[in-house]
Structure 1
Amino acid sequence: MKDFCEVLEQLYKKVLLGATLENDSQEYVFYLNPVSLDRDDSTATSSECSHTLGFRDKCQPSSVNWATTSVAPVCLKRCAQTSSAREILLLQLTVTKVMLTRILSETEFHAKEKYREIIQILLKSSDLDSKLTGMFQNSDKLLSHMAAKCLALLLYFQLKEKITLSNSWVAFCHKNLSEYSESDKIVYCLWTLAVVIKEIFKDTRSQKTEILKQFLTPFDSIFEVFYDSLFSQRFENCRDTTKIVNTLICFLELLELLIASRIHLASQFTCQRILFLKPSCVLDVITWPAQAFVKRKFIIFIKKCLLCKVGEDLCRGSVPAFTPPDCHLNVDMLALADAVLQAVDLGLLRTLSVRGKPSRFGGGEVPPGSEPVPVPDHVILRAASLLVIKSLEIKFQNCASANEMKVDLQKFMSELLTFLEPHLQPSPLSHDPCEWLCRVFLEQDDDMVEAAKATVGIYLRLTREREAIESLTQGKEKWDHHTHENGYNPHCIFLYFLKNVGFDATVLLDFLISSETCFLEYFVRYLKLLQKDWDKFFTICKSFDVTESNDSINICGCVSSLVQDRSSSQTEPSPWAARGSHRNACASASWPSDASSEPPNQVVMSKETQATLQADGQSLPQASQSLVDYDSSDDSEVESKDPCSANSKQTSLYQEAMKKIQDTVGISKNKKELSPELQSRPLVPKESNNPFSVDCDIVPNNTDSKMGTAYRTVKCFEELQGAIHRLQKKNLFPYNPTALIKLLKQTEAMYNKTVNPL
């Protein structure tokens, strides 16, 4: 037995290095033929093991004369010492798996051909599939897992070599997937099938369509049977909930891969559409009394289906250059969206638990003597929000009635905002309903952009239908109230996004050149909308300015505490931190007809100065820096270490910024001069130890429109144009931005025409 293990050790070492094997292939097959364990006993004696293996001295191939080595893995040395059947079997499976991996990867041609020949002989000479599936029920989890990994690679090898899958494997799948049972065989069967599909996706040189079709053909009908059987279970009636949870997770991964296979293979099989044909089965799992992570996985899975991002974390292979059109896709997406909305209407969100654990450095457990602070699970909040907003967009694309869309939007958005309100403090409903989107998706850029794009789609669809049945003036004001009160006004949402990033053009540039979000598509659609809705956008910008003015006046009584807080944190408060009258301002404004070009007349000077400084590219000392600073110099680290030099540089920045403010006002159309009071009052009082202070005594009677939200937005677009142009000149921009720059210039022209009508 010691010689047997040493031979396997040598074979393992050679295959691991991808070395060419010199001996006859039949001799290697002799050592790789798996052991059949008659009982679950990992301490079998050497004689018992020899008998089980059928190993005899006279049966040993005479030509095998490999030198032993003193360098071997610890597990292999233990195998040689104990001579246990379990260790030998694990070693056989490991060598077989590594050999298959070598065949499927970049390996020297002659070595790969030898490995291929050995595996082909092994498949023909022994019922290898049956031996491996027989290990699935073994109580030794390591052994079962290794058998499943080895079998998955063997199946993929057969598919690539155009070898027909063995009848024993197909029969095993049909038997175990015909109905749900609390057996480990089902879990390993599902897991093996999923691994095979992953291997198909990973291979960039094979014909994925033909291989997928060959693989799915024998299992198409049985997947639907198992789908119905699994989701018809009553979770609370299961004897072992752990087993059904494991089965759910494994089948969910397989289901995601089956749906993702539609990218490479047009929907020819029922198993690729089973979720869309019977979506309520999967949605019901969210209401089961299962663990929170199970519900989270299912919600995220449905979200990815609605966003057409299924399999992006599982399929690492390339997408084919030409994908045949999927004639069932639109129908399937509409069926899933309708099912989601129906579940929400029946109270899905009201029964969804969003309790999460606070994250702490070193672990999530609450220290002794302290009470846990309840925090919402923002992953669930984001996924549930996208379920609603994306389902509405998909449904409205196929809905012809404007009144029906308006009723559905009001009903489901009200349900969503009611669901979110307890988990967002302070509540956006008391400030501005449109703020919910940035609040929920603040930490997830890709989902935030998807949600914002969906709101634009909903707004455009409803606007077109409304204009088709109403006159140009009838009901416009009521319509604008509807978009705002239900939290889907695209202009509010975009402005909140810009406020969250500090009107920083470099952040927009990051989004535009990144492939991790669909920001380019969203941004272009919004800029096109902006051309049509400019008057509404400008009115909303003025309401934002009024809100900031009122918020500034409201906090004048607590200047000292605010200054103290700023000096300690050195960050600006969140845009939603102060409760304001934005909602009332938007509601009281006459949206279509009363859009005056006059700017708001009460803005605190500190806000005015701050807005202009940010618009001109200057950063206030207390303001947070840009998220990405492409122009940061190598001296930034030195400056941060030397407070004296930092303070002197801030002072110079203030002097330069004040000059820019004076220049801006001096060259304006109206030739307005700064009031003597403002000119005589220093920006930074000498007595103050803080780099910036809020002075609420000065409230100008009028404010230049260039210091408001609209100006800061257009200034951000202008800086974005310059950044894109510089990158384009150096051939560093990833695509042709001509159309994008044209839209940005049109926006700038509309702004100039609005503030300077003559």
Structure 2
Amino acid sequence: MKDVFEVLEQLYKKVLLGATLEGDNQDYVLCLSPASADQDGATDPSSEDSDNPGPQGKRQPRPVDLPPTPAAPVGWRSSARETNLFQLTVIQVMVTRTLSVETEFHAKEKYREIIKILLQASDFDSKLTWMFQSSDKLLSHMAAKGLALLLYFRLKEKITLSNAWIAFCQKNLSGYSENDKVVYCLYTLTVVIKEIFKDTCSQKTEILKRFLTPFDAVLEVFYNSLFSQYFETVQDTSKIVNSLIYFLELLELLIASRIHLDLHFTCQRIFFLKPSCVLDVITWPVHAFVKRKCIIFIKKCLLWKAGEDLCRGSVAASRPPDQHLGVDMLALADAVLQAVDLGLLKTLCVPGKPSCFGGGEVPPGCEGLPGPDHVILRAVSLLIIKSLEVKFQNCASAKEMKVDLQRFMSELLAFLKPHLEPSVQPQHPCEWLSRVFIEQDDDMLEAAKASLGIYLKLTRGYEAAESVTQELWNRHTHENGYNPHCVFLFFLKNIGFDSTVLLDFLISSETCFLEYFVRYLKLLIKDWDTFFTICKDFDVTDSNDSTNICGFISSLGQDRSSHQTGLSLLAALGGGRSARSCVSWAAGASSEPQSQVVMSPEARATPQAGRRPSSQASQSLVDYDTSDDSEVESTDPCLANSKQTSLHHEAKQGIQDTVGTSRGEKELSLEPQSRPVPDETNTPFPVAGDVAPNNVVYEVGLSHRTVKCFEELQGAISRLQKKNLFPYNPTALLKLLKQIEAICTKSMNAL
């Protein structure tokens, strides 16, 4: 007969193409039945001698239901490992083809029959379980992945899960003591849940419910057992670290299933019930990458974004919050703040060397720029600011909130100060946010939104108390680094007051900018006088800092082409991210005065603003409230993100045609981008400097530049709305911008 390897090769080619198999099912089953490997990669003792002991000293039963593998030439026995790997590969491809909607019906039915016969063998799962405990890492990985796919196949076909495998997992997870078998259990559980998330069927909830039911209680036991280990007394720390890494990934998937699926298991809440267990890992003497993983995991849970990387593009929009969400989020926020109160920031080491994949050190000669781990800095900062927001939403005492805010913000600012380079250390307390998050848009906007939420909550508390003057209140917000106007102005500086960047954020589903922007605009309408005062203070400071660079500005005015190229690069990189290497209006490494700007014809051109909503405006996907209550929003960020994603690519091409390339396209081209020439009779905002001649520098304050940016944004949105290219109905957003227009006009007339 033919060599088994040759038969497998022919079978593999047919299955890979999705072709219908013509042979007998039993022959294929005999060919695919793997001989298990012992710990050294040898063939399974059960296939040779029933008296040979297994890895735990127990005698292995001889296969009963599955016929022995057919005889093969002597040369094949020397490549038993390769044959086992090939068998596992063919099984995985066959399962994948069976589950794929693209596979032809008759071919799929043939594959399904073969797999079902294979699963009927009483020792098939035992063989795979044996193989994924092999010391051969490749064989172990392939066996574990194959077993996971077959488990998922059982769930899809409503075949009862293997009792032997369930018992194996329950035993090892419930009696954890540096058990190396735990990793295999956690890995298979994780892979199966990932496959469930990837599926496009409507029965995800039912499938996952059947899968998690046998493990709900045992996962809670394992959680308590794993985090109760005394790391210093563990002999082999690699085992507990591996278990921790795999378990954190599994926990994230369980929490993601709580977000996206209608499930209610205890294992989905175990982290929120005892969050201090994971927080304690940060103080363990482990590698920096382990601490980083824990911190990022906690951050995702606090932001309710668990699983966004593991399940991207495969999950539906978030469901309405469950009844325990408020309690769980408050418990997590309290645990984070309590850890900070106990000195977490004082003991947290932020390594100065960048870590490479796996936690090792970068080879000599390949080091990048020295500096701290900014991933940890951002995550810790966001943890604290978000925890404060969550706590304050459940706190009624303005005095208590003030004390907590001062204590924790002072600790955070003190923690950040030594890790920021002297050249970029913030001169203003509120600048910390833009400095720390300058390379991560989504985290920056989450932090800005949380900071704004804290401000709004405290404002209501002080307004009710009526015991604090406006001057003292403003000083308090500045000293603790959470004044919303300062935060927004630093954000605008970092993007060079580029309205196209704001437009990109508004149509993107990757950040919470829409929700943050709407809430801030409502505040700005009520608090315009304070905003105007802060802008004037900024102008004075920037004017004092600009005495020695007038010649540099003049040279910029003489070369508009290179200036525009620099601004295009600035917009592409998100503003101040490359402040040292390109021209930037942002404060910091570049010292161009904030009160001056070169007014070129392109810069002076303002987009035509649409005055009437389109008669064919797109259906509203985001219906945010436009009432005066800035705290209570009807914007659902999860709903907005999911629906914006579906229209984002459709709108992108039209947006490029209307307002020039998006930020993503600018990264590919540094050519100067010109803007459409407006109808100057239809300019909605009066802005100083619009009539400036070529190459002349005029004084333009921050308030005017902000309003100018809003003007361009309003015009771009209106044009896109008229062409039905905006991914949701922006009528309410335009209404807010028009209100600011009216306030600005009134303010200018008063002057």
Shared fold, TM over 0.5: yes
CA contact (8 A) 2:38 2:131 kept: no
Deviates more, 1:721-730 or 1:402-411: 721-730
Asked if the contact 2:583–2:590 (Cα under 8 Å) also holds between the matched residues in 1, the reply is no
How far 1:44 sits from its partner (Å)?
11
Partner of 1:592: none
- Paired with 1:276 and 1:404, the residues of 2 have a C-alpha distance of 24
Taking a change above 3 Å as real, the CA distance of residues 640 and 333 of structure 1, as seen in their structure-2 partners, is closer
Aligned equivalents of 2:582, 2:276: Cα separation in 1: 50
Separation of aligned partners in 2, 1:434 and 1:264? 35
Displacement after TM superposition at 1:725 (Å): 1.2
The Cα of 1:192 is off from its aligned counterpart by 0.4
Task: For 1:415, give the aligned amino acid.
Answer: E
Which of 87, 91, 95 is matched with 2:90 structurally? Answer: 95
Q: The residue matched to 1:541 in structure 2 has which SS?
A: helix
What is the CA-CA distance between 1:401 and the residue it aligns to?
Answer: 0.7
- Bigger mean CA deviation after superposition, 289-298 or 28-37: 28-37
Cα separation, partners in 2 of 1:185 and 1:54, compared to 1, 3 Å: closer
Contact 2:173 2:222 in 1 (8 A): yes
- Structure 2 counterpart of 1:493, which letter? V
Deviation at 1:160, TM superposition (A): 1.0
Gaps of 5+ in 1: 65-75, 581-603, 619-627, 651-659, 669-673, 685-693, 695-702
Q: Choose 1 or 2 for highest CA Rg.
A: 1
Q: Which amino acid aligns with 2:604?
A: D
1:534 pairs, out of 525, 528, 533, with: 528
CA contact (8 A) 1:528 1:743 kept: yes
Q: Structure 1, residues 159-194: CA drift from partner, whole Å, max 9, x if none?
A: 111112121111001111013233432111101000
Q: CA RMSD in A?
A: 4.2
1:321 & 1:750 partners in 2: Cα distance?
38
From 475, 497, 506, the equivalent of 2:500 is: 506
Stretch deviating more after TM superposition (312-321 or 276-285):
312-321
Of 256, 259, 262, which aligns to 1:260?
Answer: 256
Counterpart secondary structure, 1:553: coil
8 Å contact kept, 2:333–2:390: yes
Aligned residue runs from structure 1 range 507-656, under 5 A? 507-553=501-547, 571-572=583-584, 574-577=586-589, 607-608=595-596, 610=598, 616-617=604-605, 630-631=659-660
Partner of residue 474 from structure 2, selected from 453, 457, 480: 480
Residues 429 and 194 (structure 1), Cα distance of their counterparts in 2 relative to 1, 3 Å cut: same
Q: Distance in 1 between matches of 2:709 and 2:125?
A: 63
- 1:755 equivalenced with 2:748 (yes/no): yes
Q: 1:104 Cα shift?
A: 1.0
Deviation at 1:80, TM superposition (A): 6.3
- Find the counterpart in structure 2 of residue 413 from structure 1: 409
Contact 2:95 2:111 in 1 (8 A): yes
Q: Secondary structure at the match of 1:268?
A: coil
Secondary structure at the aligned position of 1:375 is classed as coil
Matched residue of 2:588: which SS?
Answer: coil
Measure how far apart 1:340 and its partner are.
Answer: 0.4
SS across alignment from 1:125: coil
CA contact (8 A) 2:209 2:263 kept: no
Return the match for 1:238 from 214, 226, 234: 234
Task: Pick closer, same or farther for the CA change 1:172–1:667 going to 2, 3 Å.
Answer: closer
Partner of 2:723: 730
Instruction: Give the superposition deviation at 1:716.
Output: 0.7
Determine the C-alpha separation between the residues in 1 that align with 2:219 and 2:661: 57
The equivalent residue for 2:446 is 450
CA distance in 2 between counterparts of 1:38 and 1:632 reads 59
Letter in 1 for 2:210: Q
SS in 1 for 2:144: helix
Q: Which is worse superposed, 383-392 or 163-172?
A: 163-172
* Number of residues of Structure 1 aligned to a counterpart in Structure 2: 655
Report the 3-state secondary structure (helix = DSSP H, G, I; strand = E; otherwise coil) of the residue aligned with 1:263: helix
Quick check: 1:132–1:148 contact (8 Å CA) kept in 2? yes
Contact conserved, 2:176 with 2:222, CA < 8 A, in 1?
yes
Cα distance, 1:117 vs structure 2 = 1.1
| CA gap 1:579/1:462 in 2 versus in 1, 3 angstroms | farther
Q: Which amino acid aligns with 2:12?
A: Y
Give the residue type in structure 2 aligned to 1:732: L
One-letter amino acid of the structure 2 residue matched with residue 490 of structure 1: P
Does 2:174 match 1:178? yes
Which residue number corresponds to residue 190 of structure 1? Answer: 186
TM-score (norm 1): 0.78
Structure 2 vs 1, CA of residues 48 and 279 (structure 1 numbering), >3 Å: closer, same or farther? closer
Where 1:732 maps in the other structure, the secondary structure is coil
Q: Distance in 2 between matches of 1:270 and 1:666?
A: 62
1:27 maps to what in 2? 27
Which of 734, 737, 742 is the matching residue for 2:735?
Answer: 742
Retained in 1: the 8 A contact 2:496–2:584? no
Confirm or deny that 1:136 pairs with 2:132: yes
Residue 716 (1) aligns with residue 715 (2): no
TM-aligned CA distance change 1:120 to 1:377, over 3 Å: same
Paired residue for 1:367? 365
Task: Output the CA distance in 2 between the equivalents of 1:563 and 1:616.
Answer: 14
- Residues 12, 231 of structure 1: CA spacing in aligned structure 2 closer, same or farther, 3 A cutoff? same
Q: 1:615 & 1:117 partners in 2: Cα distance?
A: 68
Identity of aligned residues (%): 70
Separation of aligned partners in 2, 1:562 and 1:724:
31
Q: Which runs of 5+ in 2 are unaligned?
A: 53-60, 564-579, 607-655, 675-682
Q: CA deviation at 1:108?
A: 0.8
Q: Distance in 2 between matches of 1:730 and 1:421?
A: 48
Q: Tell me how far 1:137 sits from its aligned partner.
A: 2.1
Superimposed CA distance per residue, residues 635-684 of structure 1 (whole angstroms, 9 cap, x where no aligned partner)? x99x999xxxx9xx99xxxxxxxxx9xx987999xxxxx9xxxx9xx968
After superposing the two structures, state which structure 1 stretch, 8-17 or 554-563, moved more. Answer: 554-563
Deviates more, 1:225-234 or 1:522-531: 225-234
> What's the CA shift for 1:358?
5.8
Distance (Å, rounded) in 2 between the aligned partners of 1:311 and 1:462: 32
> Which of 147, 159, 162 is the equivalent residue of 1:163?
159
Q: CA deviation at 1:487?
A: 0.3
* Counterpart mapping for 1:220-369 below 5 A: 220-316=216-312, 318-320=314-316, 323=319, 325-357=321-353, 364-367=362-365
**Conserved 8 A contact 1:354-1:376:** yes
Q: Normalising by structure 2, report the TM-score.
A: 0.79
| Aligned-pair CA distance for 1:143 | 1.2
Which structure 2 residues correspond to residues 196-235 of structure 1 after superposition, within 5 A?
Answer: 196-235=192-231
Q: CA deviation at 1:13?
A: 2.0
Distance 1:417 1:260 in 2: 32
Q: Which amino acid aligns with 1:749?
A: A
Amino acid in structure 2 at the alignment position of 1:367 = G
Q: Give the 3-state SS of the residue equivalent to 2:22 in structure 1.
A: coil
Residue in 2 that maps onto 1:589:
none
Closer/same/farther in 2, CA of residues 265 and 80 from structure 1, 3 Å limit: farther
Q: How many Å separate the matches in 2 of 1:479 and 1:428?
A: 27
Distance 1:98 1:609, change over 3 A: closer
Q: CA deviation at 1:43?
A: 9.3
